[in-house]
Copies of this chain bind each other. A is one copy, B any other.
Amino acid sequence: MDLSFIFEHKLILSISAAVLSILYGAFLAYQVLKQPKGDTKMNEIADAISEGASAYMKRQYSVVAVIGVVIFAILYFALGTYSALGFAAGAILSAVAGVAGMAVAVRSNIRTAQAAKTGLPSAFSLAFKGGAVTGLLVAGLALLSVAGFYWVLEQYAHGDLAPLIALGFGGSLISVFARLGGGIFTKSADVGTDMVGKIEKGIPEDDPRNPGVIADLVGDNVGDDAGMAADLFETYVITAVAAMILGNLLFPNNTSILYFPMLIGAVSIVASIVGTWFVKISGNSIMKGLYQGLIVALLVSVGGFWLLTNYVFQTGLGIPSLNLFYCLLIGLGVTIGMVVITEYFTSKKFSPVKTIANASSTGHGTNVIAGLAVSMKATFAPILLIAGAILASYTLAGLYGVAAAAMSMLSLAGIIVAIDAFGPITDNAGGIAEMAGLDKKVRDVTDPLDAVGNTTKAVTKAYAIGSAGLAALVLFASYTQELAKGAKGITVAFSLSDPAVLVGLFIGGALPYLFAALAMEAVGKASVSIVDEVRRQFREIKGLMSGKVKPEYGKAVDIVTKAAIKEMILPAAITLIAPIAVGFLLGAQALGGLLIGSIVTGLFIAISMTTGGAAWDNTKKYIEEGNLGGKGSFAHQAAVTGDTVGDPYKDTAGPAINPMIKVLNIVALLIASFLM
C-alpha cells in the first residue's frame, strides 16, 4: 500500500482536519441550542450566569489586552513583524477557544436542566454535546493556528520558524491569565459563598437567597471551562511548535519533518470526532459511557498512526517507521496511564479516598494530614510513568522520539476536553434547578453527572500536566539546540557540576512554589472580599433571608471579578520576568537550569495539588453518601474542611502551574538568540 501521495497535500490535510473539527463543533452547538430552554425563572437565572461570565471575560481580556499590546510592540521591535503577528494570533485564538466554548456551555446548562426533567440519558447526551463543542474548538483552533500560521510563514517569510515560538507564547500567556484569573474567581466565589451561606446562615448550596450564588455558578464557567480550554489550547500549540522546531534543528535538511506533528494532530482530530459518537450512557454507569468514547478515539488513533508512520510519512530520518509508531503509542500509553492513576487516587472506590475518609472521623487535623499524604504520594506513579516514557521514546528515536510521544499525547485533547467540559455544564444545571425550585428528581439526575464531572476534571488536569512535562522537555531541548546553533559549534552542555546550572535549578525549582503560594493567598484574599459583600447584603437588604427580596447578584460578581483580576497580575508577572532576569543576569546556563528546575518541582506541585484536591472533594462526597456517619456528622465537618483546602489546590494553584512552566520555557526560547 502506497499512501505517500497523501503527503503531497499534508498542509491542506491538516488545515482541513482542523476546520472539520471546528465545523463539527458548530454543528453540535447548533444541535444543543435548538433544544428547549425551560421556564422564565430558569431563564432569568441562566441569563444572570451568562451575563456574569461575559462581564468577567470582558474585564479579564481588557486587562490582558493592555499587557498583550505591550508585548506585541516589544516583539515587533525585537523579533520582527511575523513574531509579533504570531504572538497576536496565538493569544487571540486561545482566547477565542475559551470564550466560544464557554458561550455554548452557558447556554447548555439551562437546556441540560430542562432535559434532566425527562431523565438521565437525555440530560447526559445534551451536556456532553455542549462540552464537546469546547473540546472540538480547542483541538481545531489549536491545529488551525499552527498549520495556518505555518502556511503564512511558508508563503511570505521563507519558512522562517522563529515566529512559531511567538505563536506558542501568545497562547501560553493567555492561558496563564485564564487559569489564574479564572481559578481565583471560581474558588474564591465558591469558598466565600459557602462560608457565609452554608456555615453562617445554614442555607443549602445554590440557595437563591445567597447573594454569592450566581458568582459561584459563573466561576464554574470562567474557571473550569474557559480557563481549562485556554490551558489545553496552549499545551497543544506549544507541543506542536516545539516538535516542529526541534525536528528542524535536529534534521535541518529534512523539510517534511515539519509536517509530522500536524499530521498526528489531524489523525487524532478525526479519531476524537469518531470517539464522541460512542459516548453513550450504558446501563447506569456514566463513567463507562465516557470511557467508551475515549477508548474508541484511542483505537482509531492507533490505526491512523500506523498508516501515518508506515505508509504516509516516509522521511529518511534514519529512524525506522516502526520506532516512530511505537513513540506515538507511548504518548497514548501515558494518556491511559495518567487516567488510570488519577482515577485510583481520586475515586471513591479505592483506598486513598477511603483512608482520608477514615482519618476524617478523628477530626479536621487528621483529615488534612491524610489528604496531604495522599497528595504527595500521588506524584510517584505519574512521575515514574513520565520518566519511563522519556527513556523509552528516547531509546527508540532519540530526542525526536520524545517530541513525537508528546505530540501524540496532546493530539487527543479534543476528546479529553470533551469528556471534561460537560462537568461544569451539569454543575450549573444543578444550580439552576435548585435556584428555580425545580423538582428534586432533576437534581437527582444532575448530581451524579456532576460527581462524574469531578473525576473527569481531575483526569484532564493530570493529562494536561503530564503532557506539559513532556512538552516542556521538548521546549528545553529546542532551547539547548537553539543555543548550540548560536554558539556555532561550541558545545552547550548543561552540566550539573556547573554552579550556574545548579543555581538555575534551585531558582527554577523555587518559582512554582512561589507561584502556587501566591495563587493560594490570592484565593484567600479574594474570598474575604466576597464574604464581606455577602455578609453586607444579608445585613442590609431587608427581606432577603425570608426570600421576599432578591439579592444583588451582580455586585457579588463584580467584586470577585475585580479581586480575581487584581490578584492574577503578580504571579503572572513573575513568570514573565524571571527567565529574562536570570537569562541576562546569570547567563544561558543558569537559565537552562531554571527551566529544568521549574519542570521538576512544577510537575510535583501540580500533580499533588490537582490529585489531592480531587481526593479531598470525593472524600466529602463519599461521606455524604452515608458513610462514616454521613451528612452533618463530625467526620463530614472534617471532610468539608479538607474539601475547602483542596479547592484552591485543585482549581487554582495546581492547574495554573501547567501554563506557567510553559511560559518560562517559551520566554527562554524567545530570548535564546540574545544570550550567546
Listed in ascending order, the chain A residues whose CB lies under 8 Å from chain B are: 191, 195, 199, 359, 362-366, 368-370, 372-374, 376-377, 379-380, 383-384, 386-388, 390-391, 394, 399, 402, 473, 476-477, 480, 493-497, 499-503, 505-507, 509-510, 513-514, 516-518, 520-521, 523-524, 527-528, 531, 586, 592-593, 596-597, 600-601, 603-604, 608, 640-645, 648
Contact = CB atoms under 8 A, between A and B. Distances in A.
A217 B505 CA distance: 41
A390 B499 CA distance: 7
A496 B510 contact: no
A493 to B, nearest CB: 5
A27 to B, nearest CB: 42
A38 B604 CA distance: 53
Nearest to A377: B517
A367 to B, nearest CB: 9
B505 A199 contact: no
Contact of A376 (B477, B502, B514, B645): B514
Contact of A527 (B191, B366, B383): B366
A166 to B, nearest CB: 24
B645 A510 contact: no
Given A368-B368, A369-B524, A383 B509 contact: yes
Contacts of A359: 524
Residue with the greatest number of chain B CB neighbours at <10 A, chosen from A380, A476, A477, A645: A645
A528 B645 CA distance: 23
A377 B510 CA distance: 9
Contact of A641 (B364, B384, B527): B364
Contact of A510 (B379, B391, B473, B640): B379
Q: How often does this chain occur in the complex, in copies?
A: 2
B368 A505 contact: no
24 contacts: A195-B366, A364-B641, A364-B644, A365-B642, A365-B645, A366-B527, A369-B644, A372-B520, A373-B520, A374-B517, A380-B510, A380-B514, A387-B502, A387-B506, A390-B499, A394-B499, A493-B493, A496-B501, A496-B592, A509-B604, A513-B608, A597-B600, A600-B600, A600-B601
A365 B191 contact: yes
Nearest to A504: B387
A670 to B, nearest CB: 19
Given A527-B366, A528-B362, A499 B391 contact: yes
Contacts of A514: 376-377, 379-380
Contacts of A645: 365, 368-369, 372
A177 to B, nearest CB: 20
A505 B509 CA distance: 12
Contacts of A513: 376-377, 379-380, 604, 608
A359 B388 CA distance: 42
Name the 10 nearest CB pairs between A and B, nearest first.
A365-B644, A376-B517, A494-B496, A373-B520, A377-B517, A394-B499, A364-B641, A387-B503, A383-B510, A387-B506
A527 B641 CA distance: 20
Contacts of A648: 369
Taking each of A195, A369, A493, A514, which has the highest tally of chain B beta carbons within 10 Å of its own beta carbon? A369
A493 B503 contact: no
Nearest to A595: B496
* From A372, A514, A518, residue with most partner B Cβ within 10 Å: A372
Contacts of A199: 363
Nearest to A640: B365
B366 A364 contact: no
A496 B366 CA distance: 40
Contacts of A364: 364, 641, 644
A362 B645 CA distance: 13
Given A365-B644, A600-B600, 4 more contacts: A370-B524, A376-B516, A379-B510, A601-B604
A520 B644 contact: no
B383 A507 contact: yes
A509 B644 contact: no
Nearest to A507: B387
A623 B52 CA distance: 39
A372 B365 CA distance: 13
Nearest to A520: B373
A1 to B, nearest CB: 34
Contacts of A370: 520-521, 524
Contacts of A597: 600
A33 to B, nearest CB: 39
